[in-house]
Amino acid sequence: MRQRNKPWADEYLQENNHIVISDPKSKKGNWSQLFNNNNPIHVEIGSGKGQFILGMAKQYPEINFIGIELAKSIIVSAVQKIEEENLANVFMLNENAIDVREMFADDEISMIYLNFSDPWPKNRHEKRRLTYGRFLEQYQDILGANGEVILKTDNRGLFEYSVVSFSQNGMNINEINVDLHAIQDETNVMTEYEEKFSAKGQPIYRCKAAFEK
Protein backbone atom coordinates (compact mmCIF):
# COMPACT_ATOMS: atom_id res chain seq x y z
CA MET A 1 0.00 0.00 0.00
CA ARG A 2 1.38 3.40 -0.95
CA GLN A 3 1.76 5.81 1.92
CA ARG A 4 0.60 9.38 1.62
CA ASN A 5 3.50 11.80 1.46
CA LYS A 6 3.99 13.86 4.61
CA PRO A 7 5.84 17.06 3.67
CA TRP A 8 6.45 17.81 7.36
CA ALA A 9 8.22 14.49 7.99
CA ASP A 10 11.79 15.79 7.55
CA GLU A 11 11.31 18.63 10.00
CA TYR A 12 9.51 16.39 12.50
CA LEU A 13 12.28 13.79 12.45
CA GLN A 14 14.92 16.47 12.95
CA GLU A 15 12.99 17.90 15.89
CA ASN A 16 12.88 14.46 17.47
CA ASN A 17 16.53 13.52 17.06
CA HIS A 18 16.48 12.27 20.64
CA ILE A 19 14.41 9.37 19.28
CA VAL A 20 15.57 9.18 15.64
CA ILE A 21 19.35 8.80 15.61
CA SER A 22 20.61 10.82 12.65
CA ASP A 23 24.08 9.24 12.25
CA PRO A 24 23.86 5.62 13.40
CA LYS A 25 27.18 4.68 11.80
CA SER A 26 28.93 6.88 14.36
CA LYS A 27 27.30 4.86 17.16
CA LYS A 28 28.64 1.54 15.92
CA GLY A 29 30.03 -0.39 18.85
CA ASN A 30 28.79 2.22 21.33
CA TRP A 31 25.03 1.75 21.42
CA SER A 32 25.13 0.78 25.09
CA GLN A 33 26.55 4.21 25.89
CA LEU A 34 23.62 5.85 24.12
CA PHE A 35 21.15 3.77 26.13
CA ASN A 36 23.28 4.45 29.20
CA ASN A 37 23.20 0.79 30.28
CA ASN A 38 24.49 -2.64 29.29
CA ASN A 39 21.12 -4.26 28.67
CA PRO A 40 20.68 -6.55 25.64
CA ILE A 41 19.93 -4.76 22.36
CA HIS A 42 17.21 -6.03 20.00
CA VAL A 43 16.80 -4.72 16.45
CA GLU A 44 13.72 -4.74 14.25
CA ILE A 45 14.36 -4.32 10.52
CA GLY A 46 11.33 -2.73 8.87
CA SER A 47 9.46 -1.28 11.85
CA GLY A 48 6.60 0.27 9.91
CA LYS A 49 4.40 2.45 12.11
CA GLY A 50 6.03 1.13 15.26
CA GLN A 51 3.30 -0.89 16.94
CA PHE A 52 5.55 -3.92 17.47
CA ILE A 53 8.67 -2.16 18.72
CA LEU A 54 6.67 0.12 20.98
CA GLY A 55 4.82 -2.85 22.45
CA MET A 56 8.06 -4.74 22.99
CA ALA A 57 9.76 -1.74 24.62
CA LYS A 58 6.85 -1.41 27.06
CA GLN A 59 6.67 -5.14 27.76
CA TYR A 60 10.42 -5.55 28.27
CA PRO A 61 11.88 -2.44 29.95
CA GLU A 62 15.04 -4.42 30.73
CA ILE A 63 15.83 -4.70 26.99
CA ASN A 64 16.94 -1.94 24.61
CA PHE A 65 15.24 -1.74 21.20
CA ILE A 66 16.25 -0.18 17.90
CA GLY A 67 13.79 0.02 15.02
CA ILE A 68 14.91 0.58 11.44
CA GLU A 69 12.48 2.03 8.88
CA LEU A 70 13.42 3.68 5.58
CA ALA A 71 10.15 5.39 4.64
CA LYS A 72 9.91 8.81 6.30
CA SER A 73 6.14 8.97 5.81
CA ILE A 74 5.85 5.77 7.87
CA ILE A 75 8.52 6.15 10.54
CA VAL A 76 6.96 9.41 11.77
CA SER A 77 4.03 7.39 13.13
CA ALA A 78 6.43 5.24 15.15
CA VAL A 79 8.25 8.30 16.48
CA GLN A 80 4.96 9.89 17.53
CA LYS A 81 4.01 6.76 19.49
CA ILE A 82 7.39 6.61 21.24
CA GLU A 83 7.29 10.32 22.05
CA GLU A 84 3.83 10.00 23.60
CA GLU A 85 4.94 7.08 25.79
CA ASN A 86 8.23 8.81 26.74
CA LEU A 87 10.16 5.55 26.57
CA ALA A 88 13.90 5.55 27.25
CA ASN A 89 14.68 2.06 25.92
CA VAL A 90 13.89 2.52 22.23
CA PHE A 91 15.44 4.46 19.37
CA MET A 92 14.51 4.63 15.69
CA LEU A 93 16.73 4.78 12.62
CA ASN A 94 15.52 6.28 9.34
CA GLU A 95 17.94 4.19 7.33
CA ASN A 96 18.25 1.58 4.60
CA ALA A 97 19.31 -1.66 6.28
CA ILE A 98 21.19 -2.87 3.20
CA ASP A 99 24.20 -3.63 5.42
CA VAL A 100 23.55 -3.56 9.17
CA ARG A 101 27.26 -4.07 9.81
CA GLU A 102 27.73 -0.39 9.01
CA MET A 103 25.66 0.49 12.09
CA PHE A 104 26.41 -2.32 14.55
CA ALA A 105 29.65 -3.93 15.67
CA ASP A 106 30.35 -7.65 15.89
CA ASP A 107 28.36 -9.34 18.66
CA GLU A 108 26.64 -6.06 19.63
CA ILE A 109 23.07 -7.27 19.08
CA SER A 110 21.14 -9.99 20.91
CA MET A 111 18.06 -10.34 18.68
CA ILE A 112 16.88 -9.41 15.19
CA TYR A 113 13.19 -9.24 14.27
CA LEU A 114 11.99 -9.53 10.68
CA ASN A 115 8.27 -8.80 10.80
CA PHE A 116 6.19 -9.09 7.61
CA SER A 117 9.10 -8.22 5.37
CA ASP A 118 8.52 -7.73 1.66
CA PRO A 119 8.46 -11.32 0.28
CA TRP A 120 9.89 -10.35 -3.13
CA PRO A 121 8.18 -13.40 -4.69
CA LYS A 122 9.83 -13.26 -8.12
CA ASN A 123 12.94 -15.40 -8.48
CA ARG A 124 14.95 -12.52 -9.96
CA HIS A 125 14.39 -10.57 -6.74
CA GLU A 126 15.65 -13.31 -4.42
CA LYS A 127 18.69 -11.28 -3.36
CA ARG A 128 16.39 -8.59 -1.94
CA ARG A 129 14.77 -10.92 0.59
CA LEU A 130 15.94 -10.16 4.11
CA THR A 131 16.58 -13.86 4.71
CA TYR A 132 18.83 -14.24 1.65
CA GLY A 133 22.30 -15.55 2.43
CA ARG A 134 24.04 -12.18 2.05
CA PHE A 135 21.82 -10.68 4.75
CA LEU A 136 22.24 -13.69 7.03
CA GLU A 137 26.01 -13.24 6.87
CA GLN A 138 25.53 -9.72 8.21
CA TYR A 139 23.26 -10.91 10.99
CA GLN A 140 25.79 -13.54 11.98
CA ASP A 141 28.45 -10.87 12.46
CA ILE A 142 26.42 -8.50 14.63
CA LEU A 143 24.63 -11.13 16.71
CA GLY A 144 26.24 -12.21 19.94
CA ALA A 145 26.28 -15.70 21.42
CA ASN A 146 22.78 -17.25 21.55
CA GLY A 147 21.41 -14.35 19.45
CA GLU A 148 18.37 -15.19 17.37
CA VAL A 149 16.68 -14.09 14.17
CA ILE A 150 12.90 -14.18 14.56
CA LEU A 151 10.80 -14.09 11.40
CA LYS A 152 7.05 -13.50 11.32
CA THR A 153 5.10 -13.41 8.09
CA ASP A 154 1.76 -14.21 6.51
CA ASN A 155 3.50 -15.25 3.28
CA ARG A 156 4.01 -19.01 3.16
CA GLY A 157 6.41 -18.76 0.25
CA LEU A 158 8.74 -16.43 2.14
CA PHE A 159 8.40 -18.55 5.25
CA GLU A 160 9.38 -21.77 3.50
CA TYR A 161 12.22 -20.03 1.65
CA SER A 162 13.52 -18.56 4.90
CA VAL A 163 13.50 -21.85 6.79
CA VAL A 164 15.59 -23.40 4.02
CA SER A 165 17.88 -20.38 3.83
CA PHE A 166 18.44 -20.44 7.60
CA SER A 167 19.40 -24.11 7.45
CA GLN A 168 21.64 -23.74 4.40
CA ASN A 169 23.52 -20.89 6.04
CA GLY A 170 24.47 -22.77 9.18
CA MET A 171 21.69 -21.69 11.49
CA ASN A 172 19.94 -23.87 14.04
CA ILE A 173 16.16 -23.79 13.80
CA ASN A 174 14.73 -23.25 17.29
CA GLU A 175 11.07 -22.92 16.29
CA ILE A 176 8.88 -23.52 13.26
CA ASN A 177 5.28 -22.46 13.76
CA VAL A 178 2.77 -22.49 10.90
CA ASP A 179 -0.13 -21.06 12.92
CA LEU A 180 1.27 -18.74 15.58
CA HIS A 181 -2.03 -17.55 16.99
CA ALA A 182 -3.29 -21.09 17.48
CA ILE A 183 -0.78 -21.60 20.30
CA GLN A 184 -1.98 -18.42 22.07
CA ASP A 185 1.50 -17.16 22.91
CA GLU A 186 0.81 -14.46 25.49
CA THR A 187 4.27 -12.95 24.97
CA ASN A 188 3.61 -12.32 21.28
CA VAL A 189 3.36 -8.64 20.37
CA MET A 190 1.44 -8.10 17.14
CA THR A 191 2.33 -5.73 14.35
CA GLU A 192 -0.24 -3.70 12.44
CA TYR A 193 -0.08 -6.17 9.55
CA GLU A 194 -0.39 -9.13 11.89
CA GLU A 195 -3.62 -7.80 13.37
CA LYS A 196 -5.00 -7.13 9.91
CA PHE A 197 -4.14 -10.52 8.42
CA SER A 198 -5.10 -12.60 11.45
CA ALA A 199 -8.48 -10.85 11.60
CA LYS A 200 -9.09 -12.20 8.10
CA GLY A 201 -8.31 -15.72 9.26
CA GLN A 202 -4.90 -15.92 7.61
CA PRO A 203 -2.33 -18.03 9.49
CA ILE A 204 0.74 -16.26 10.82
CA TYR A 205 4.03 -18.10 10.44
CA ARG A 206 6.95 -17.74 12.84
CA CYS A 207 10.46 -19.13 12.75
CA LYS A 208 13.29 -18.66 15.24
CA ALA A 209 16.84 -19.44 14.19
CA ALA A 210 20.30 -18.92 15.65
CA PHE A 211 23.93 -19.25 14.68
CA GLU A 212 26.31 -21.33 16.74
CA LYS A 213 28.98 -19.15 18.34
Instruction: Give the CATH number of the domain where residue 130 resides.
Output: 3.40.50.150
Domain presence at residue 170: yes
Domain presence at residue 182: yes
pLDDT tens figures, 100-141: 999 999 999 999 999 999 999 999 999 999 999 999 999 999
Active site residue 118: yes
Better-predicted residue by pLDDT, 12 or 60 = 60
Domain presence at residue 196: yes
Give residue 154's domain range: 9-211
pLDDT tens figures, 175-194: 999 999 999 899 999 999 99
Computed over every residue of the chain, the mean pLDDT equals 95
Catalytic residue chosen out of the listed positions 118, 141, 154, 179: 118
pTM, two decimals, is 0.95
Pick from 151, 67, 68: nearest CA to 117? 151
Average pLDDT over residues 148-152: 98
